[in-house]
Amino acid sequence: MAPPRPSGWEADDLDHLPRAPRHTELIDGALIFRAPQRSWHSRLVENLTFALRQAAPAGSEAEREMTIRLDKKSRPEPDILVTTAPYDPDRTWYAPEDVTLVIEVVSEESADRDRSLKPFKYAQAKIPHFWRIEDEAGSPSVHTYELDVMTSAYVATGIHRSRLATAVPFPVDIDLDGLVP
């Protein structure tokens, strides 16, 4: 799969790649193909998405595995996002201004992107909240961050084990141990 132009792939190209594997991301004009998920990762994402749907206020919705069009050259796909955009059954991506929270569940193949590159890009796009979830011996630990608008960087607001209790971006109280068997 060669890029359609010398400058590389662009965000809109993702909607027209019939041979691309599912969950293909675009980062700085380069296609990123994700490795198969572990069952732990899949169940965590599924159960956390459901819990966030229950907790989200009216007008907000949790979505899993949808891309965010950060700019012309980047459309990453977080594991979960929370959006205020109205439901559109034909939507393939969200604009950063419609996203209040992005969540990345770190896996071995995506660790560097999930810990450094993606948070940097999400902060530059002014997405207010970022959560990174690590696997600590089979138990999820949630690292929560909030955007500092003065620096356009995320600042840590907590590390949550066993229970995720936070007031932002909306009140959440989730038993983390109950998310994965």
* Tens digit of each residue's pLDDT (9 = 90 or more) over 92-114: 999 999 999 999 999 999 999 99
Give domain status of residue 138, yes or no: yes
Model pLDDT, residue 179: 96
Assess whether pLDDT exceeds 80 at residue 44: yes
Domain that holds residue 53: 37-178
Alpha-carbon gap, residue 14 to 94, rounded angstroms = 13
Q: Which of 116, 130, 124, 169 is nearest to 149 (CA)?
A: 124
Beta strands 61-64 and 25-27: pairing type? unpaired
Alpha-carbon gap, residue 131 to 29, rounded angstroms = 25
Q: Where does the pLDDT of residue 141 fall: very low under 50, low under 70, confident under 90, or very high at 90 and above?
A: very high
Give domain status of residue 25, yes or no: no
Give domain status of residue 148, yes or no: yes
Q: Which of 58, 76, 59, 55 is nearest to 130 (CA)?
A: 76
Helix (H) or strand (E) holding 43, with range, is: helix 39-55
Give domain status of residue 9, yes or no: no
Q: 3-state DSSP call for residue 1?
A: coil
Give domain status of residue 29, yes or no: no
User: What does pLDDT average to over the chain?
Assistant: 95
Give domain status of residue 81, yes or no: yes
Give domain status of residue 18, yes or no: no
Residue 120: phi and psi, rounded to 5, are -60, -50
Give domain status of residue 31, yes or no: no
* Tens digit of each residue's pLDDT (9 = 90 or more) over 5-37: 888 899 999 988 877 788 899 999 989 998 888
User: DSSP characters for 89-114?
Assistant: TT--EE-GGGEEEEEEE--TTTHHII
Q: 3-state DSSP call for residue 60?
A: coil
Q: Where does the pLDDT of residue 1 fall: very low under 50, low under 70, confident under 90, or very high at 90 and above?
A: confident
Beta bridge partners of 104: 132
CATH number for the domain that contains residue 81: 3.90.1570.10
Instruction: Quote the number of domains for the chain.
Output: 1
Q: Supply the pTM of this predicted model.
A: 0.94
